[in-house]
């Protein structure tokens, strides 16, 4: 429709302008006075008026065909994306610095630097589980604690993290006659290690050794008597660490490695009170070198389903 209007306008406006110009010229100049110069003046005025009208109609025709800012030409109903205004630039705030003088020296290293413990201990994952007898019955006198720790040796000497006899890694618990009521599975019992008393932060705790690896068997009901330890750590060199990240095999099953299992006797309420996981000195067995306290979320991670690690 716009094309037709523009086309008609181009043809009609020049003719209209020429007719108007001639009419004006005829009214202004009488028939007797129509000399050649005057006729030329009339025709010049008519031609000028026609040219002006032609340019005006042409511009109107072109404006009618030009696309707008919000509509894409040829695609009615599809609007162009609005322009995004320029974002103001944020001022650059310099980070606070520390002035260092050329005359400031560096002190000698302190071998007793308190910023790092001799041994860093962190329980990354943990869970608890029931203990079952060979017949498949639940044992109410015991529960198991399964955990995966991360150990770092910050000392300048080699560090034992063996769980042989005696174990360097132990679970600290409180309770009455723990040493007498402790009843580990058969392979751990045959290993000969025992709970010992240790002092930590002004309190006395029982330090229970972990079960030895693969000390779980199938019950008559088809499930296992408990969790199984999977530990390959023996010692850490200075600055060394022991940690097994989660790995999933091709069948989608988590790899069992780097896990410790502790069998703990319950109290009259069926509960156990856990303080933390400790690494003790193999020569001075009452000395704690590193500790992860269970109530500290920075040292003791979340509980996970036992099949997840």
Query: What would the pLDDT profile of 92-134 be if each residue is shown by its tens digit?
Result: 666 677 777 777 677 777 666 667 889 999 999 999 999 999 9
Of 48, 65, 82, the residue at which a domain comes to its end is 65
> 46 and 130 in one domain?
no
Q: Is residue 164 part of a domain?
A: yes
Domain that holds residue 16: 2-65
Neighbour count for residue 251 (Cβ, 10 Å): 5
Distance of CA 192 to the CA centre of its chain: 45
Whether residue 48 is found in the same domain as residue 128: no
User: Are 212 and 295 in a shared domain?
Assistant: yes
* DSSP bridge partners of 259: 230
In order of 121, 123, 148, 155, 177, the CA distances from 118 in angstroms are 10, 17, 20, 5, 31
165 and 58 fall within a common domain: no
Which is it for strands 138-153 and 119-132: parallel, antiparallel or unpaired?
A: antiparallel
At 248, list the tokens.
Answer: 């999933």
Count the alpha carbons within 13 Å of 152 in the hemisphere toward its beta carbon.
10
pLDDT confidence of residue 22: 46
What's residue 54's pLDDT? 46
Judgement on whether residues 50 and 130 belong to the same structural domain of the protein: no
Where a domain ends, among 42, 65, 88? 65
The predicted pLDDT at position 286 comes to: 81
Q: What are phi and psi of 274, to 5 degrees?
A: -105, 135
Domain count, the chain: 2
DSSP 229: B
**Is the residue at 188 inside a domain?**
yes
**Statement: residue 78 has pLDDT above 50:** no
Residue 177: its pLDDT value, please?
94
107 occurs within a structural domain: no
For residues 164 and 43, membership in a common domain is answered with: no
Domain stop point among 50, 65, 80: 65
Evaluate whether residue 55 is within a structural domain: yes
Judge whether 202 lies within some domain. yes
Residue 44: pLDDT band by 50, 70, 90 thresholds? Answer: low
- With helix as H, strand as E and coil as C, how does 232-247 read? CCCEECCCCEECCCCC
Instruction: State mean pLDDT over 204-216.
Output: 97
Going by pLDDT thresholds of 50, 70 and 90, the confidence category of residue 190 is: very high
């Amino acid at each position: 429709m716009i094309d037709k209007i523009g086309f008609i306008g181009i043809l009609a406006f020049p003719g209209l302008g020429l007719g108007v110009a001639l009419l004006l010229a005829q009214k202004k100049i009488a028939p007797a006075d129509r000399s050649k110069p005057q006729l030329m003046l009339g025709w010049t005025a008519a031609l000028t008026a026609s040219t002006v009208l032609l340019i005006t109609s042409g511009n109107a025709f072109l404006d009618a065909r030009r696309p707008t800012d919000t509509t894409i030409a040829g695609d009615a109903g599809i609007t162009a994306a609005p322009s995004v205004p320029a974002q103001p630039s944020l001022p650059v705030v310099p980070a606070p610095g520390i002035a260092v003088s050329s005359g400031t020296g560096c002190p000698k290293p302190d071998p007793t630097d308190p910023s790092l413990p001799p041994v860093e201990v962190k329980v990354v994952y943990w869970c608890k589980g029931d203990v079952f007898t060979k017949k498949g019955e639940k044992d109410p006198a015991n529960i198991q604690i399964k955990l995966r720790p991360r150990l770092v040796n910050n000392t300048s000497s080699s560090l034992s993290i063996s769980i042989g006899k005696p174990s360097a890694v132990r679970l600290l618990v409180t309770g009455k006659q723990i040493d007498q009521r402790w009843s580990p599975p058969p392979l751990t019992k045959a290993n000969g290690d025992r709970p010992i008393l240790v002092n930590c932060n002004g309190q006395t705790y029982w330090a229970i050794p972990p079960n030895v690896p693969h000390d779980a068997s199938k019950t008559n009901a088809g499930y296992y008597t408990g969790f199984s330890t999977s530990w390959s750590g023996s010692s850490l060199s200075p600055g060394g660490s022991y940690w097994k990240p989660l790995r999933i095999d091709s069948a989608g099953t988590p790899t069992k490695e780097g896990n410790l299992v502790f069998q703990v006797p319950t109290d009259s309420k069926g509960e156990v009170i856990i303080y933390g996981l400790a690494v003790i000195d193999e020569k001075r067995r009452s000395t704690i070198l590193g500790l992860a306290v269970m109530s500290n979320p920075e040292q003791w991670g979340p509980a996970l389903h036992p099949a997840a690690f």
